[in-house]
Chain A
Amino acid sequence: MNWLLQLYPARWRERYGEEFGTVLASQRASVGLVLDVLAGAVDAHLYPQIQNSQSKPIKGDDTMTLEMLQRCTVGGPKLSPQDRRIASVFMIVSALVMAVLYIGLTKIYHAAPAVEALFYASFPALALIYEQTAYLRKRPWLTQTFVLGAGLLALYLVMLAVSVIGSKL
């Protein structure tokens, strides 16, 4: 029956696994017991109660590495409601600007590949704008501009290449 423990998250097993196994082994195997353990596993995945303070501390003062590790954890880094609000507002404003720009350029240049590329790039660009403004908000202004600008430029160039190829087919 202890194989059922594998259904629980690793951090949960690390914290409660041994004692859980002891209690599990003490009970008579039954359908009800299996269902109880399964429901517990689902709950442990949906609502992990393990506190951050209970995890092993990361040694050293390498804040860059620490930040990267935090970004790789499930759910990503924690964003404050203010971070999310600012990123959302920035994304909405960007969407409006891109829509106006696209409509304006379509009036002038019609369905030119460069205009079409703007249309195609706008959807992933909005996601990129949200991510970058949320996660890079505490970085220097120059860094934010460079990372976001380079990302948007790369995205536009890819879409432009796709549009040019598409127009020649």
Chain B
Amino acid sequence: MLRKAKDDAELDDFGRFSEPALLILVSLAERPRHGYSMTEDIEAIAGARLGPGTLYGALARLEARGLIEPLKSEDRRNPYRLTALGERALRVRLDSMMAVARTGQRRLAHA
């Protein structure tokens, strides 16, 4: 439980980058991607296009906390992948969001 709370807290101090960081983790959960590919994927799954300032603000934070890591670059576009820590943080955060969503749906059903 303590581990779960700690993992969940990994994204808590991201401030305004919290949501973009979550979207990046979701995008990288499928496969390693570079910045441009991430913006395309995030637009497809969330309907929002991240600006480069927001994207790299969130990427730098994720990388600094060891949640993602850069892969060896083939060209100018540096791909990133999820680390084990990032995968765990994403699972915990998604579980927590699903629990909230389930509770909300149940309460709305009874309203």
Contacts and interface: CB of A to CB of B under 8 A. Distances in A.
Interface stretch (B2-10, B49-57, B96-104): B49-57
Contacts of A50: 60, 64
A36 B39 contact: no
Given A22-B35, A44-B57, A36 B76 contact: no
Contacts of B64: 49-51
B39 A23 contact: yes
* Size class of the contact patch on chain B: 20 to 34
A23 B52 CA distance: 6
Interface string B43-68: 00000010111111101110110000
B76 A26 contact: no
Contacts of B49: 27
Interface of B is mostly: helix
Nearest to B40: A26
Given A20-B52, A40-B51, 9 more contacts: A19-B35, A19-B56, A20-B35, A39-B53, A40-B56, A40-B57, A49-B61, A49-B64, A51-B64
A41 B53 contact: yes
Interface in B14-50: 34-36, 39, 49
Given A22-B77, A27-B49, A36 B54 contact: yes
A24 to B, nearest CB: 5
Interface in A19-59: 19-24, 26-27, 32-33, 36-41, 43-44, 49-51
17 contacts: A12-B60, A15-B60, A16-B56, A18-B76, A19-B77, A20-B35, A20-B52, A23-B35, A23-B52, A32-B51, A40-B57, A43-B57, A49-B60, A49-B61, A49-B63, A49-B64, A50-B64
Contact of B53 (A19, A21, A40): A40
B105 interface: no
Contacts of B53: 36-41, 43
Contact of A37 (B39, B52, B78): B52
Contacts of B60: 12, 15-16, 44, 49-50
A37 B55 CA distance: 10
A34 B51 CA distance: 9
Contacts of B56: 16, 19-20, 23, 40
Interface in B62-109: 63-64, 76-78
Which of B36, B39, B54, B60 has the most chain A CB atoms inside 10 A of its CB?
Answer: B60
